[in-house]
Each structure stands twice: as structure tokens, then as C-alpha cells.
Structure 1
Amino acid sequence: MEALCRELVLRKDEIKGTIETIYFGGGTPSLLTREELDQIFKTIFEHYTVAEPVEVTLEANPDDLTEEKIKQLSDSSINRLSIGIQSFFEEDLKLMNRAHNAAEAEECLTLATRYFDNISLDLIYGIPGLSNKRWQQNIEKALSFGIPHISSYALTVEPKTALDSFIKKGIVPPIDEELAEQHFHTLIDTLTRKGFVHYELSNFGKEGYFSKNNTAYWQGKPYLGIGPSAHSFDGTTRSWNLRNNSLYIKSIEKNELPSETETLTKADRYNEYVMTGLRTMWGVSVNRVEKEFGVKYKEYLLKQVQKYLEEHLLYLDGDSLLVTKKGKFLSDGISSDLFFLNL
């Protein structure tokens, strides 16, 4: 805790302007006590210019959120919760090796909505064995709590995990891309009917409830990451802290920043803009590409997108290059084909 606060002080000049969003993510930040949270907030408000109001999100899992904990968080500067529900079905949670059960998922949302208005929950689709009917029930269950923001991701299988082992042994069927795509379109259709805006590939929010943190990231705004393995970005360089806790603390004690830095090339920055822009409802501005990267990049982009325009996977709306509904599930693959390669 002392090292985190000390890093905040050491890096106070890195953020120019006003802090719009503070995000407690990664690990299990819900383990922090009220006193520890207050210590962090005191440091931030003393050394940074903070917007009023500022969005302050804390990530948590259902098994961490007792009523006492939720009340404690609501009494702090936290004003938004992001809860890792993943599924309301026991079999899915067991397959994903989640620590909470289905009853805890529902109980924590019942309690959280008493103390917080601004809540986001995570749902996972493309889970082996998850039928379209059960996926629809998952979405409807989430909506029944009046949640204004939902983040949803396709299940990915990481190497050397229990799920990876089960699939290799034939205990669990492999990931079905076609089923995942069906789930994705069901999600879009259901949430847009219910008044949610699909503002980013994996994020849906009611008006006024888009995540400022997510939006800033996808729009390429600078951010400062504090703590072991945290990443930062200032528009042209990216840095990341050491992962090792003890080495991180020792470095901070010497007033040394425990980080590595890379400077992004023009091609890196263009590729990142295309990748993040196509994921959002705002798309990629052709004029911005020309202004920031030059005519060569604009001409390259327009040449590369031609086949996707013809296949109705992308479309041009004035200056903005956007993904069609048909192309959304394929947007990451499309982006990579638009990348500028320094060969």
C-alpha cells in the first residue's frame, strides 16, 4: 500500500490535465479495507487534478461482496462496481473454475443494486455446452436486476489451464466458433431491444452509463497504471511495471520507477488506432488517419478496406469507417488485415 501511494506521488507529473476516471482492477481490489482505499484516494486528490464528479470503478467477484462489504464500498469514493458474474448457471461456473456459485451471483446483485446505481457485470459466451436457450436466459437474468452496463466476452482457452486440459482429454468439447457467433448476435439483438447502446465490441451501456474507463482506452487517451505489472500509455510511449511484488517495492523504496518503456512507431500508433477504432461505435476517421499519419497511410487504409466494403463487413458513413453488424464478430481479424507492416 505504501509503495502504491509512493508511486502515485513519483509519477504525478505524467498526467497532464484532469483525471476523468479511476479504476481499481486486476487481482482482487475488493480485498482492500476502507482505510486502505481512503489512503489511496487521499494521495490521488492531494497530487492530481480530479474531475468533479469522477467515475471511480472497483472490480469485484460475487464471493467477495457481502452486504457489509458493499455498504463499506458505497461509503467510500467508489461510485461504480464492475462485477465478474460470468454466468448464472452452476455448470458454467464449475467449468470455468470460478470461486462463486450461481446463488452468490444473484445474491450479490440483489445487494449491490440497493447501494449502487452504476453497476456493470461481465458475462461469458461461447462456453462449451452452453445452449442458445440457456445463453438467452443468462442475458434475461442479468437484465432482471436493472443493470445499466454489461460487458460480454467470448470464452478463450488459455494454455496449461484446467479447461485446456479437459478439452485435450475429451472431457469437455472444444470451443465452437459458430455457436459463439450465434451467442454474440443474440446478445446484440436482446440488449439493443432493451435500450442498450453497443458502444464498443464487448461493451453495452444505457445512455449516461458508458464506462469512462473503457471509452478512454478505446479512444486512445493517456492513462497511468499504478502497481506491479500495471501498464501505462501517454499517446506515444507505453510502459509496464515489474510483475514481482518484492522487486516492485524495493524499487519504489529507492524512489526508482520499476518499469520498462517502449516508444511506439508511427505504424504502431496507426495500427493501434485502427484496432481500437473499429471496435467502437465511433469507428475510424479517415481524415484523422491522413492528419496524424500522412497521405500514405490514408491511401493504404482505403486500398485495404475495399474488399470488406464490397463484402458488407465494413461501411463508410461520411468520414467514419465502421463495422457492419455482419462484420462485428470478425472485427479483430479485419483490423489485423488493415495493419501497416514495416517490412
Structure 2
Amino acid sequence: MTEKTAAAMSGGVDSSAAALLLQRAGHELVGVTLRLFDGGEDGADAAAAASQLGFPHRTLDMSREFRTGVIGPFISEYERGRTPNPCVRCNRAVKFGALLRETLALGCARLATGHYVRLNLDQGSGRWLLKKAAHPEKDQSYVLAMLTQEQLSRALFPLGELSKEEVRSIAEEAGLASARKKDSQDICFIPDGDYGAFLRRYTGKDYPSGPLLHEDGTPLGRHAGIVGYTVGQRRGLGVSSSQGRLYVKEVRPGDNAVVLSGNASLFSSALEGEALNLIACGRLDGPVRLRAKIRYRMAEQPCTAEQTGEDTLRVTFDSPQRAVTPGQTVVLYDGDTVVGGAVIARSLPR
């Protein structure tokens, strides 16, 4: 009996082309679309693509799982003065968490997505290795760095060797309506990018104003609620200074203060991470020379990583890094291979 594969489909070109490639490779497919929140993906475009390709499609309501696994932590992190990455959390908790469990219950052995990454089984260690996409401009390994070995063992990523242009061409040649559909850019549940307004609207809370302080303690004004600020931010501060441009250096929920500084004070030589998830190995033995990214759109930086506890680590950069932001994800690389990821707990001074 042929094992079924679930194809996660958003209705966009990437997930549609991934399903098409799997079908051509002989997989028996079931298309699945997640309904995560009111006003989100309704599954119509994905269902149309599945119908055109000739396999069944289901829309699954996972709004409850999304609220508890993504939106809840997103809110609590901002209220703690941190800046979370909801896409990283969603991939682990919802797409390869709740959705994977549901597709296994439907009789599917694997879950495929349209992410641009590669996946190999290392025969020596028996570990699944997550690798960067062949075309670095589309690589999405950063947002999958918190997946577990069990999750990766069930995953399929058909687009890892392809460029975006090749994917669009494949979809266009097959006559898929998504071939020229624009990519989504913003956080799916905050399409206008106004995180502070979303938090107020969703929670019903009125986050109070508080002091804007220079890093030397000098009062500079009042902020509009700490949930509207993130490390490195310059726009919307509403203050002027004889010392030049100011940026958010720290968000302090303890005294409801936002601390500002000049650009030079934003640089850190190291960071401490928590919730460590290792993919390429079970533990980091001693200091290891690697490269690291502290945000999605940045070049990897040479560093030394050292595991300091069961799920904690310290990353020391060869060159100080700007705006190391608590709540964001640090991802470690050894060449093309993702060693693992962690949540940034704090930056360490130069």
C-alpha cells in the first residue's frame, strides 16, 4: 500500500509547486490548509490547485492551537519587553506540531511544505540534517531551526534545490493560477505591521505610558507603551537630542521604561541563548567555531558557540553585532548545515 503524503498548501506558488513536484515523483497526496484566525486563509486557492492537480484537499481549523501556541506567547513576550519571532514558533508548534499530528492521524506518513531548505539523513549519526537552500537568496532554514528530530523525520521539502524563478516556471507550465501570485511578506495575523495596535486590540489592554530615558539616566520624554518598541528602533520615538540620532537600546518592563542610546551603544560582543534546540548533534562539546544569524535577513557572522547548560548557550562573535534583541532567534550554521537554534535571552556588553 502506498503511503500518503500531506501537502501543506497556502494557495501560493511555493506550496502549489511543491505539491506538483511530489505528485510527479509518485506520491499519493492529500492537500491540507490551515485556518488559523478570522480573516486568514480560507483554503479556496489551495483547494482549486489541488482540484486542478487531481488530489483531495481539506481545510483544518487550527485557530485554537494557533492562539495558544503562537499568539499567546507573542503577546507575553512583548509584555516582557522582548521581540519574538512568531514564524519560528508557528513552524514548530503548529505546522510541524499540531498539523503534523493531525496528518498522521489521517493516515499520512510525511508532511511536505514549500519551504526553501534541504534535508538529508546522516547515515553515520542517524540524525536528520537541515541544510540551507541551494539558492541562498531564498533560504528559509532560519525559520525552521527549532524543529526537532522527530519533526524533521516526517518532513519533505521539495523546493530546496530550486530557485524562485524555476518554481514559478514549473507552476506556469502546469497552468497553476498561483504561478504569478505575489509572495506574502508580513506576519500573517498582523498584515499592516502595527504590532502595538494589534496587541491593544487583541488583549483589550491599555499599555501605560512611561519614561523614555537616555542610557545615562537623563529623562527624554514619555513613551506610548512598551509593546510599541524594540531594540534598534529609531522611528517613532518622538524625541530629539543634542547627541545625535537615538535608538532603542533596552525595553524594561520592570519600571516600564524604554532606554535610548546612540548607535555605538547598540553593539554587543556576545549573547546568551535559552530553549536551545540542536539538530546536527545532541550536544555542543566545548567551544565550537561556527557562524550565526540573529535575525532572518542578515549575513551569517563568525562566532564561537559554547553550550552552558541543558538548553542554554553563549555565542561570542568575532565582531560586535548591532541590536542583539531578546526574544529573537539565534541560528547556528556549520557551512550549509543548521547546527541548531535558540531564543536570545540577553545581549552581553562589548
Which bin holds the TM-score, normalised by the shorter protein? under 0.3
TM-score of the pair, normalised by structure 1: 0.27
More helix by share: 1
